[in-house]
Amino acid sequence: MDDFLEIGGKKLRSRLITGSGKYSDERIIADVVAAAQCDVVTVALRRVDFEHHGESVLQYVPKGKILLPNTSGARTAGEAVRLARLAREMGCGNWVKIEVIEDQKYLLPDNIETLKATETLAKDGFVVLPYVSPDLPLARKLVTAGAAAVMPLGAPIGSNRGLRTLELIEILVDEIELPVIVDAGIGRPSHAAHAMEIGAAGVLLNTAIASSNDPVKMAHAFRLAVEAGRLAFLAGLGSVSKTGRASSPLTGFLNE
Amino acid sequence: MAFPPKLIYYLRMIGRHMIAHINGKTETVIQEVSVEKLLSMKNIDPACVVVEVNKNIVKREKYGSVILNDGDTVEILKFVGGG
């Protein structure tokens, strides 16, 4: 079925983007990505620890995947821009997830700084996926700024709380022409399916898989959930009623 | 390498060593060290990192020709897991 997610000139078969963080043994990442069958994997950029210098996480990301470096650690647009340019210099592509967070309690993104960084990086030729709190006026500005998608959070990063911002996400889906990818807070495959059912273009999640007892099995579950939700959206959900509506004819009963 | 301050002073006076701020730590390094040599001394594979000297990104093909100066600030970063 030709139902690709088109971003940055690429046609993605999978609408599930997975993170590579929070794994104590990174060797599992290869199996997780294989089970998720995702096309895009997020990574972060950090200083090399010369005392405990392990392997690069890249060696556990299967070949052929699109790398989506995030700008985690950035507290301002300037820091995000700096991190994005460093990430691009690695030579793995020009996609970037803008993540600008000053708030260390809820890890909620700074929408204003994210918009500024989007403007600069889009002009600099990046494929920009900004991570934001859902906000329609801001999202419209992100479109104008040249973002390739809009990534509203469902709930705080790592919280597994689901789509707490559901109605705001629905507004974005209705009003924004760019792909709306729900990023952060998704904790269960049913959350991911729900996001897809309401018309999100995709979902991005990390903790829900990494914090599971069996991340590979969970990744498989998320793959199925995202596919199911998308199929449901394309099929068209039935109408909702306050009263009951019988499934079989109301005549011809045995006891009439 | 962590030397006592007096020794660092003498080493700098002799002219064989200099200070560089590498990944947030002040270190003593030999003078005229290139980025390539620095990575090699720290056992870092150049293909797995990106390098910034004084907030300027150093292109990989220039690692051999960019020479550090006394007091330079160097950032050496790699990709890690992230969401």
The residues that bridge with A151 in the sheet, in sequence order, are A131
Q: Where are any strands of DSSP class E within chain B?
A: 17-22, 25-30, 50-53, 56-58, 72-81
Instruction: Check A10, A11, A63, A97 and give the catalytic one.
Output: A97
Residues of B in contact with A26 (CB under 8 A): 81
Report residue A97 as tokens: 């997830």
| C-alpha–C-alpha distance, residues A96 and A112, integer Å | 17
pLDDT for the residue A138: 98
> What is the model's pTM?
0.93
Computed over every residue of chain A, the mean pLDDT equals: 96
| C-alpha–C-alpha distance, residues A15 and A5, integer Å | 7
Count of C-beta atoms within a 10 Å radius of residue B33: 18
Nearest CA distance, A38 vs chain B (angstrom): 14
Residue with tokens 């273009």: A201
Query: What are the angstrom distances between the C-alpha of A253 and each of A245, A247, A249, A250, B65?
Result: 16, 13, 9, 7, 90
| C-alpha–C-alpha distance, residues B42 and B7, integer Å | 22
**Residue A68 has what DSSP assignment?**
E
All domains of chain B in start order, with CATH: 5-78 (3.10.20.30)
CA dihedral B75, A184, A149, A237 (to 10 degrees): 160
CB A101 within 8 A of CB A79: no
Q: Give tens-digit pLDDT for A17-56.
A: 999 999 999 999 999 999 999 999 999 999 999 988 778 8
Which residue does chain B place closest to A29, by CA atoms? B81
The residues that bridge with A179 in the sheet, in sequence order, are none
Q: Give tens-digit pLDDT for A116-173.
A: 999 999 999 999 999 999 999 999 999 999 999 999 999 999 999 999 999 999 999 9
Q: Where are any strands of DSSP class E within chain A?
A: 5-7, 10-12, 16-19, 40-47, 66-69, 95-98, 127-132, 151-152, 181-183, 202-205
Whether A48 sits inside 8 A of B49 (CB atoms) is: yes
Question: Interior CA angle at A234 toward A185 and A95, to 5°?
Answer: 50
Q: Write the ipTM.
A: 0.92
Percent of chain B residues past pLDDT 70, beyond the cut? 88
A196: amino acid identity, one letter: M
| C-alpha–C-alpha distance, residues A203 and A152, integer Å | 10
Residues of A in contact with B81 (CB under 8 A): 19-23, 26, 29, 43-44, 57
Which residue does chain B place closest to A43, by CA atoms? B82
Smallest Cα–Cα separation from A217: which of A14, A35, A26, A40?
A: A35
pLDDT for the residue A54: 77
Per-residue pLDDT of chain B (83 residues; tens, 9 = 90+): 567 777 776 666 666 889 999 999 999 999 889 999 999 999 999 999 999 999 999 999 999 999 999 999 999 999 999 99
A11 catalytic residue (yes or no): no
First CA to last CA distance, chain B: 34
Residue with tokens 């998720």: A36
